[in-house]
Structure 1
Amino acid sequence: MLWISLSRQLIGRVLPVLGTMMFQKREKGEFQLRNWQREIYPHYELLVKVLRARNIKGRDLLSEADCFVEVQLPTSSPFISRTTVAPNCCHPEWNETFRFQIHEAVKNILELTLYDKDVLQNKKLASVKFDLGGLEPGHSHNHTFLFNPKNREELQVEFFLEKGNKPASEVITNGILVAHPCLKIQGTIEEKVNSLWHEDGNRLIKVSVPGAYEKPQSFPKYPVKDSTNTFVFHVNPILQSKLNIVLQQVPELEIPTRILCREEIPLSSLPLDQEVQHVVAVGEEHALTLTLKAEESSRDLDLRLGFDLCEKEQMFLDKRKQVVSKALQKVLKLDEAPQNDEVPVVAVLGSGGGTRAMTSLYGSLAGLQELGFLDTVTYLSGISGSTWCISTIYKNPAWSLTSLDGPTKRARSFVCSSKTGAFSSDQLHYYGQQLLAREKSSLHVSLIDLWGLLIEHFLHQEENPTKLSDQQAAVDQGQNPYPIYAGINVHKNVSSQDFAEWCEFTPYEVGFPKYGAFVPTELFGSEFFMGRLLKSWPEPRICYLQGMWGSAFAINLDDIFQKTIGSGIRFLESKNDINVKDDYETQQLLSPAQLKTQLFIPQGIFAQIITDIFTFRFTCGENFNFLQGLCLHEHYTESKEFLAWKVSHPDASPNRLTPMKKCLYLVDGGFAINSPFPLVLQPQRDVDVILSFDYSLENPFQVLKQTEKYCKERDIPFPRIKLKPEDISEPQECYLFENAENPHVPIVLHFPLVNRTFQKYQAPGVERKTSEEKDFANFTIQDHTYGMMDFTYLPIEFDRLVELSRYNVLNNVQVIQSALHKALQRRQRRRQRQAGR
């Protein structure tokens, strides 16, 4: 295989020189993942021999265990293999071998599960997840997995890895995700003997390909003579799946289904790009004729794999720098405008908080606009309620160039109006029609979609036809800050505090920075598989995104406990026993990319029930998963975005991560961090100053502490958050956090929603004199009026929030100016260093 080695060297060394680099050297000598490239990797044959188990204690106290082992490798096969059952034996012997084909580019994790067979339900005794990346080809490896050191319960397995007969194949990868060529199976079933469908019972043909994107397909009960039935399946050829054809008698009344014939055709037996016929015999006289064709698509992907900003965002930045440069010259009173490569990047963040956050953000933006600072902002990002404000003002492509008084007044009229019309018979009929239309389009429909329609009525009181991609007109000339809306992808049975993948929505792209995978905004909601677009659906109206971005109904009990008492179901963690060793027996050192072996002892029934209750989400935004069918790269763990070093973290279980899921479960990002810091802190955005507006009612520094922890775990530059006791009890209007010694750490200005000097001053330096002026400012933010579920305000309540937020910005003009000046000086020094090289 010398040519394979040479090909990989050429692709790994020559292509980066030509400009399609996946890795770029950092100053510290590390490597940063970049864009996709094509690479060639070999295939291997893996033999897994389940030898024996020792000292196994079954769950049934009256008899010994009836043991068997399930062997599963999802990246190689869609099937679960199992040994025979060893009855009534605590030292079962199997010596059964299972064969898999694996691809070197992929992170292959073998799962072995020991069961005690039971009449009602098989009982899981223990399971192990083993990283196959540490196996050396051509050598036999014996491993003993010790489940219970006290009783010496163990499972012994032998592995043998050898070069496969299949030639090395090319994949597309960005170092995190791997896209194989997609195998498309097209088929036609011809049934020319109509007597197959007897009068005494209907017949049904079912066709399926395990592991394929498409579900099993059934054909009509009453076919017309000489009719043809076609089917299509898309599948990863690495899975070595089969085409299953089943002819069955359709049950009538209480008659059970009867299988008349069954046939399995290995996909590997089908020649590529050739039509072949296959005959399925039905008894002695009848037959079905299948015309099959297999095609392999190795074309470029329909999604973007990469860690750079998309081309259109980069074009926006070039245009926006010119606007920011002129604004900086004005607000900092500079003799001349800074050059483009000296212009600092400023991001404004709005936290969650429902209508309170939406209303307050209008005031914060108005304050920035009044001071001339709004034109110095490059990114405007929001979460939850803040997204309702941002997505509304971006209906106007020139919103930041005109006064915000108009948009604020319109928002006021809707917030202060009655919401009873949202539940009128006409509106309910409208909701039903909209949801039914989505369901007929095969889109996932949930309570989140209804919530989005309610928000649409609350914000506009009419149908809002706009889509997120319509906002491209608001940024194509760099005239406004670039909007970034935040959501998180969660697992249904995992707390969002333990696992949340940040998903960004922009006018041009929707995607996961963690995976380096993005789709055009117009195609969000369409069906992708293995990186290829299979079916395009219309882009959802923005109201459905607003419902998802602010999906308070997606909360679970663990989230409630986190927010009310500061901790969730941590008391249950000890129930889930996970033993980890670097390598059993040899204790050899793992490579940086290799995952530690994980041993799992199942929870007790009570603990599992409680865990399920706490982590169950009443609803969430289900969307087609555009990552489905992609695999995780063998070295994905080297990316610091993945917390695979935490053995209990889902990142350490690649077989359970998002690319292996059929759906995305997108919810309000506030369930993780109630401010979109992770999206603007990506290194490629290179943000210098962050203006964080926190509209929380309690603990106005929680998002900062959570972000500090988030950044520390991922080695992202972020200032240390040092607070005094009085800051917690009586927070100020504005805090500045920085690291003067590290220019890569952004300067963070944090604005809690507090009513301090506003009570005394109606404008900076202008005291309130009349009783009416004093009464207007005499209110408490924590009043129940501004609760999360309060959607209707009195006019004075709306005005108070807007004016307070505006004033808190105006009253800290010098702090903002100082931060901008420091950031400009940093950029200038960086430019001088680069010029001196």
Structure 2
Amino acid sequence: MGIFTSKQQTEPAPCSLLTVKVIKMKNLRKADLLTQSDCYVNLWLPTASVKRAKTQTVNDTKDPVWNETFHFRIQNQVKNILELKVCDEDKHTEDDHLLTVFFDVSKIQLGETVLLNFQLNPKGKEELEVEFTMESSPDVPEKIVTNGVLVAREVACLEVQVDGGRMKKDSTERKFTLSVGGSHEEAQNLTLRTWLCPASPAKFHYIKYNQSELDIELPRRQLCAASRERNQSATVPLNTLPIQEEVTIVPNKTFDLNVKSKDWTQGLLFKRPKNLDVRLGYDLCPDEKNFLQKRKKVVAAALKDVLHLEQGLKDHEVPVVAVTTTGGGMRALAATYGTLWGLQRMKLLDCVSYITGSSGTTWAMTDLYEDADWSYKDLGEIIKKARIQAAKSKMSAFSLESLKTYHKELSQRTTAGYKTSFIDLWGLMIEAMLNDGNNHHKLSEQRRAVNRGQNPLPIYLALNVKDNVATRDFREWVEFTPYEVGFLKYGAFVHAEDFGSEFFMGHLMKKLPESRICFMQGMWSSIFSKNLLDAWHGADSSEDFWNRWTQDTFTEIDEVPDLPERPHDIPTRMFTPAGGLSNALRDILTDRPAVSKYHNFLKGLQIHNEYIQNQQFSAWKDTVLDESPNQLRDPADQLELVDTAFFFDTSCPPLLRPERKIDVILHFNYTGGSQTKPLERASTYFTEQGIPFPKTLLNDEEKKNLKECYVFEDAHNPEAPVVIYFPLVNDTFQRYLAPGVERSTAEMSLGNVDISSVFSPYSTRQVSLQEDDFNKMLNLTNYNVQNNANTILQVLHKRVEWKKMALTS
């Protein structure tokens, strides 16, 4: 069995010493047809060292022999994948990459020495022979923090102080660079001006038990116009430095470096590791649990009223109801207001505990949650303001004067430490289109709207993607609440006000000012981030032709002798690089014009050795990289966040976290295309993931004549929520002004809402909605809720009775 930890745990974990001896290859493939390869092997174990080791080059042979040994200190609780990259050295061009072997070193047991032959091409009898030895490390066990998927390791702090006491008084200033690969700071440039004015000390935070090095590079000193000195450099292995003791290094005749490595603790009085600022755990945060307790009382009172119950509900009898929506620009904004207005009129809004949104829906949500008591007020009055903003001319948002204002704020944002992109500009444009001035509201400030349980908890959604990979091949769900921002897959969360700040190994390293809500809106509706492959898959999701051209080629290979297999071991695989044409084509097809970039709060964190067996991780394990941990958690400094519609247009994934225990989902579709495909894709996805969710398939005849409301449930799985689905259709609204109230002849035109034709005013590209069009969409979605209120009430009543019986059975 694997590790099924959902909460953060701190535990001592020993390190080991891994010795890798690269012995030889047989029948090596050629890089070209004319000559044999000049072969070397590049070794990289990113969980132990950021630097790559390399064998000598053996020239002009298909059977190179090296017999070279390399040593790594590894953390046993981390998934350590050794990469053995075989290359052909070229003197005049870039070296040819022949293949790479990915080997899970946890297959080697402590105290073992194993000689392995990797069968690279059994037909051609191509083999790579490597010997592995695993020994105990003399170091004391490392204190790690883990949730069974991510691992935070101990961090040490290196302080470097320049001693310029040996500089001459007339010496010119000297500039030099200090760097520690894999540290939070990476590199720092220092200037030593005179012996009386030494450089400020430099600090580096790095993984204590990694094979880190301090690199010192001195600049060339000009002697005359025609003569220059070469760069001077020095390297100091940090694992040779005694902890808490100062050591003097003499890299240059004119000055010394005083270096001191120490455990990174909270203070002198408390000799214990710093508490993590990233919460590692799949459970709900304490703030959300507290909210749910308060919200249950509101929901219980509302249900007693609308269901006409004789007695009030106990906490365990109160169903958790959620509203989930899709995107669609101004169309979604107007539709969201109409939906919530309809729920309020039918006294159902107080029965809802969560509202999730993406893209244009978030524009309405963020507007509402600026008011701490919005759901207790007449939404009709709030909607009046939104209608004015929707109908106004948007030309000023694109004027030269506005662009100058945007440029100034983006420059200030860059100065504050953010990496800006066109998506941030888009966010400022959204703000100008929906407001009469700057909106200084922030995500964390929405806590005021839920601190008494007075409104449903809002959840916003985005996808984290990677460069040069299509969204279909890699994406990670990222949820945003007023309390936290985090990854569903990894169980890693940070406070909402800390999102965008710099983190390393779970620690907050540099606090940046929290983003204004407009920048979040730009990210949640980043319609400009689609690449060509996303567009292709959106048009025809069954087409695999371009994938064959753009995906890396990995094949599982055997090793001799066979090693005992454990469920969490990853099979040995070989990567064969594609040709130059394929790489160029992949770059073209997967390049995104713009993405929203934020500092990666997972930076430095490593993956647990048994992560692949973790149930919570497996629920969201859905991409080609999930069994490639070196690629999955690469040291990317930035998250790249896009609109969720690039995968499927629904915001319900956060509601499927089992910890939220959602009973009923009111799913409102606002897309302008197919009214069934978004939910079908979501249902298929959740079924494939093993996440409880009802099947939502309709036959062709039903799709041609869609009704306003459908109920989907899985009677055989009580953990699956009941889904009440509302397509965006104009059915009985054409004939009825309100439920049971027929339209007069003069009012018939008001019921004609053109949702999907080429002449529809509700295109996602539209940035304005005239008052009449806004009202039609508003009234349509309002009506569809009211006309099907009895269906909602029946489902709620049934779920209440089920929860009562579930407790007694």
2:516 to 541, 545, 560: 541
Structure 1 range deviating more: 260-269 or 483-492: 260-269
* 2:580 is equivalent to residue 605 of structure 1: yes
Q: In the aligned structure 2, how far is the partner of 1:376 from the partner of 1:256?
A: 80
1:294 alignment partner in structure 2? 262
Q: Which amino acid in structure 2 is aligned with residue 288 of structure 1?
A: D
- Return the match for 1:621 from 560, 573, 596: 596
Task: Tell me what 2:121 maps to.
Answer: 148
Q: 1:263 to 1:111 in 2, by over 3 A?
A: same
Q: Is the 8 A contact 1:572 1:611 kept in 2?
A: no
Matched, 1:788 2:764: yes
* Cα displacement string for residues 237-260 of structure 1 (whole angstroms, at most 9, x for unaligned residues): 121211112222267999897445
Report deviation, 1:572: 3.6
CA gap of 1:407–1:343, structure 2 versus 1, over 3 A, is same
Whole-Å separation in 1 of the counterparts to 2:306 and 2:185: 58
Give runs of aligned pairs for residues 119-134 of structure 1, distance below 5 A.
Answer: 119-134=92-107
- What is the CA distance between 1:48 and its match in structure 2? 1.0
Q: Which amino acid aligns with 2:316?
A: D
Question: Deviations 1:330-384 (Å, cap 9, x if unpaired)?
Answer: 1112112211110000010011111111111111111111111111000001011
The question of 1:525 aligning with 2:500 is answered yes
Greater shift after overlay, 426-435 or 100-109?
A: 426-435
Question: Which stretch shows the higher mean deviation, 546-555 or 147-156?
Answer: 147-156
8 Å Cα contact 2:325-2:668 kept in structure 1: yes
Question: What is the DSSP-based 3-state SS (H/G/I as helix, E as strand, rest coil) of the residue aligned with 1:411?
Answer: helix
Aligned equivalent of 1:273: 244
Structure 1 residue 785, shift from structure 2 partner: 2.1
Aligned to 2:644: 669
Q: Which residue of 1 aligns with 2:154?
A: 181
2:78 maps to 106
User: Secondary structure of the residue that 2:535 maps to in structure 1?
Assistant: helix
Deviation at 1:155, TM superposition (A): 1.7
Query: What does 1:717-736 correspond to in 2, within 5 Å?
Result: 717-736=692-711
Task: Please say if 1:562 is aligned against 2:530.
Answer: no
Query: Could you say which residue in structure 1 is the equivalent of 2:12?
Result: 40
Determine the C-alpha separation between the residues in 1 that align with 2:784 and 2:283: 36
SS in 1 for 2:601: coil
Look up the SS of the partner of 1:228 in the other structure.
coil
1:196 Cα deviation from its structure 2 partner? 9.4
Gaps of 5+ in 2: 266-272
Determine which of 33, 42, 66 is the counterpart of 1:70.
Answer: 42
Q: What is the CA distance between 1:198 and its match in structure 2? A: 5.8
Which deviations, in whole Å up to 9, do the C-alpha atoms of 1:769-817 show, x marking residues without a partner?
Answer: 2234335425343444222211112211111111111111111112211
Q: Distance in 2 between matches of 1:658 and 1:407?
A: 44
8 A contact 1:641–1:714 mirrored in 2: no
**In 2, are the aligned partners of 1:71 and 1:111 still within 8 Å (CA)?**
yes
Deviation string for 1:154-183 (max 9, x for gaps)? 322111111122222221111111111111
- 1:406 corresponds to 2:381: yes
Q: Which of 423, 433, 437 lines up with 2:408 in the alignment?
A: 433
Shift of 1:643: 5.6
- Aligned equivalent of 1:18: none
- The answer to whether residue 448 in structure 2 is matched with residue 473 in structure 1 is yes
Are residue 685 (structure 1) and residue 660 (structure 2) matched? Answer: yes
Please give the alpha-carbon distance, in whole angstroms, between the structure 2 residues aligned to 1:681 and 1:148.
44
- What RMSD in Å do the two structures reach over aligned CA positions? 2.3
Match of 1:112, as an amino acid? L
Question: So what's the TM-score if we normalise by structure 1?
Answer: 0.92
Matched residues, percent identical? 38
Q: For structure 1, which segment, 245-254 or 487-496, has the greater mean C-alpha deviation from structure 2 after superposition?
A: 245-254
Q: Distance in 2 between the 1:647 and 1:809 partners? A: 34
Is the alpha carbon distance of 1:570 and 1:197 closer, same or farther for their aligned partners in structure 2, counting shifts above 3 Å? farther
Task: Identify the residue that residue 3 of structure 1 maps to in structure 2.
Answer: none
5 Å matches for 1:189-588?
A: 189-195=162-168, 203-220=174-191, 222-223=193-194, 225-249=196-220, 258-282=229-253, 286-297=254-265, 298-567=273-542, 570-573=545-548, 578=553, 580-581=555-556, 583-587=558-562
Report the counterpart of residue 797 of structure 2 in structure 1: 821
SS at match of 2:256: strand
**More moved, 231-240 vs 266-275:** 266-275
SS of corresponding position for 1:786: coil
- 2:130 maps to 1:157: yes
Query: 2:269 corresponds to which residue?
Result: none
Q: Is contact 2:87-2:96 (8 Å) kept? A: yes
Shift of residue 233 of structure 1? 0.4
Residue aligning to 1:19: none
Q: Unpaired segments of 5 or more residues in structure 1?
A: 1-28
TM superposition shift of 1:823: 1.5
Residues 272, 296 of structure 1: 8 Å contact kept: no
1:247-290 deviations in whole A, cap 9, x for unaligned?
222679998974453222221222222333333333xxx33242
Amino acid of the structure 2 residue aligned with 1:510? V
Aligned counterparts of 1:534 and 1:579: Cα–Cα separation in 2: 37
Give the aligned partner of residue 67 of structure 2.
Answer: 95
Alignment CA distance shift 1:180-1:725 (3 Å): same
Distance 1:758 1:30, change over 3 A: farther
Q: Could you list the per-position Cα deviations for residues 123-175 of structure 1 after superposition, in whole angstroms to 9, with x for gaps in the alignment?
A: 11111111111111222222222333332333221111111222222211111
For 2:268, the equivalent position in structure 1 comes to: none
CA distance in 2, matches of 1:778, 1:472: 37
- Rounded Cα–Cα distance in structure 2 between residues aligned with 1:744 and 1:779: 38
Question: 1:69/1:299 Cα in 2 relative to 1: closer, same or farther (>3 Å)?
Answer: same
Residue in structure 2 matching 1:758, options 724, 727, 733: 733
Mean Cα deviation higher: 461-470 or 705-714: 705-714
Call closer, same or farther: CA 1:323–1:551 in 2, change over 3 Å: same
Of stretches 570-579 and 558-567 in structure 1, the one that deviates more from structure 2 is 570-579
8 Å contact 1:353–1:384 — kept in the other structure? yes
The letter for the 2-side match of 1:698 is G
**Shift of the alpha carbon at 1:714?**
2.8
- Kindly tell me: are residues 252 and 318 of structure 1, through their superposed partners in 2, closer, same or farther at Cα, counting changes over 3 Å? farther
CA distance, structure 2, for counterparts of residue 317 and residue 520 of structure 1: 18
Distance 1:673 1:45 in 2: 46
Look up the match of 2:722: 747
Residues 205/547 of structure 1: CA separation in 2 closer, same or farther (3 Å cut): same
Distance 2:497 2:588 in 1: 37
CA deviations on 1:199-237 (whole Å, 9 max, x unpaired) are: 6xx642111111111131112375574423310101001
Show CA shifts across 1:592-611 (max 9, x none).
21112221111122222212
Looking at structure 2, the residues matched to 92 and 155 of structure 1 have their Cα atoms a distance apart, in angstroms, of 10
Shift of 1:415: 1.0
Pairs aligned (count): 800
Is the Cα contact below 8 Å between 1:113 and 1:127 reproduced in 2? yes
CA contact (8 A) 1:47 1:100 kept: yes
Deviation of 1:646 (Å) = 8.4
Is residue 350–residue 381 contact of structure 1 (8 Å, CA) maintained in 2? yes
Q: Distance in 2 between matches of 1:625 and 1:127?
A: 28
Match of 2:270 in 1: none
Q: Give the whole-Å Cα distance in 2 for the aligned partners of 1:260 and 1:31.
A: 50
Distance 2:753 2:32 in 1: 68
Kept after mapping to 1: 8 A contact 2:243/2:261? yes
8 Å Cα contact 1:576-1:600 kept in structure 2: no
Give the alignment's TM-score, normalised by structure 2.
Answer: 0.95
Q: What is aligned with 1:807?
A: 783
Bigger shift: 818-827 or 499-508?
Answer: 818-827
**In 2 relative to 1, CA 764–124 (structure 1 residues): closer, same or farther, beyond 3 Å?**
same
